[in-house]
């Protein structure tokens, strides 16, 4: 990635994008990648540059592109807990159908936003798995509200979002997944250990509280 492109994404320099659109700079942004295959959106969201996202053309394949770990910009947004970018990406994907963007630029049907939310990285983690693992409660809420089915998906280690929340001790997130999701979430976990087992294990390692403090 050209240093000037990286700095623009890092700092959220939307004027840089305007200069490219106006032909003042001859740069193909879609070809700009870091050694880890991050594109400018991966970089921008890492530094929570929300405005940079809103100035990228609707339907750009960069919104769906993956890096060397298979992470989309949405995965990165979930990792850093950038609620505004997560919300933008969900709404952006919904707009693809409304605006009639073609398939070459990304999924363009009424379920486009669900396809984006359900994309997995090399570990088969969805953005929800990532958000739960990093303890970002509000991002978890937003993702589940957009697609409750995410609560039923497991990654390559057979971890469900509920299992991750419970094993990490994120009681508020576990409670939300269990009590607020409109569908029954998966309890699946590693080596046959389910979320309930993880809750019991955390309880036995603690000398404080009771079972209800360790599991909703």
Q: Has residue 174 been placed in a domain?
A: yes
Phi, psi of 110 (to 5 degrees): -65, -15
Tens of pLDDT, residues 51-100: 999 999 877 999 999 999 999 999 999 999 999 999 999 998 887 654 44
Specify the DSSP element, H or E, that contains 27: none
The answer to whether residue 204 scores a pLDDT higher than 60 is no
Q: Has residue 164 been placed in a domain?
A: yes
Q: Has residue 210 been placed in a domain?
A: yes
Q: How many folded domains does the chain comprise?
A: 1
Q: Has residue 46 been placed in a domain?
A: no
Using CB atoms within 10 A of its CB, is residue 131 exposed (0-12), middle (13-18) or buried (19+)? buried
How many whole angstroms separate alpha carbon 50 and alpha carbon 181? 28
Structure tokens given for 63:
């919104």
Q: Has residue 190 been placed in a domain?
A: yes
How many whole angstroms separate alpha carbon 1 and alpha carbon 38? 9
CA angle 60, 25, 67 (to 5 degrees): 40
Tens of pLDDT, residues 166-183: 999 999 999 999 998 899
pTM of the model: 0.84
192: region left, alpha or beta (phi > 0 left; psi from -120 to 50 alpha)? left
Structure tokens given for 132:
């739960």
How many whole angstroms separate alpha carbon 154 and alpha carbon 118? 11
Q: Has residue 106 been placed in a domain?
A: no
- pLDDT confidence band for 212 (50 / 70 / 90): very low
Q: Which domain holds residue 153?
A: 145-216
Q: Has residue 207 been placed in a domain?
A: yes
- The predicted model gives 32-36 an average pLDDT of 97
Q: Has residue 56 been placed in a domain?
A: no
């Amino acid at each position: 990635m050209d240093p000037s492109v990286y700095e623009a994404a890092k700092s959220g320099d939307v004027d840089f994008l305007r200069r490219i659109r106006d032909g003042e700079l001859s740069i193909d942004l879609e070809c700009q990648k870091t050694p880890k295959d991050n594109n400018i959106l991966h970089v921008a969201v890492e530094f929570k540059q929300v405005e940079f996202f809103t100035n990228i053309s609707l339907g750009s394949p960069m919104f769906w592109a993956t890096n060397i770990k298979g992470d989309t910009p949405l995965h990165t947004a979930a990792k850093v807990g950038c609620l505004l970018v997560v919300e933008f990406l969900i709404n952006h994907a919904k707009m693809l159908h409304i605006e009639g963007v073609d398939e070459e630029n990304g999924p363009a049907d009424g379920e486009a936003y669900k396809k984006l939310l359900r994309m997995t990285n090399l570990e088969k983690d969805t953005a929800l798995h990532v958000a739960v693992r990093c303890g970002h409660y509000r991002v978890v809420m937003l993702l589940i509200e957009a697609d409750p089915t995410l609560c039923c998906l497991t990654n390559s280690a057979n971890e469900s979002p509920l299992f991750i929340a419970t094993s990490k001790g994120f009681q508020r997130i576990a409670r939300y997944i269990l009590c607020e999701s409109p569908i029954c979430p998966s309890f699946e976990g590693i080596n046959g250990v389910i979320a309930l087992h993880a809750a019991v294990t955390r309880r036995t390692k603690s000398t404080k509280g009771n079972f209800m403090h360790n599991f909703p």
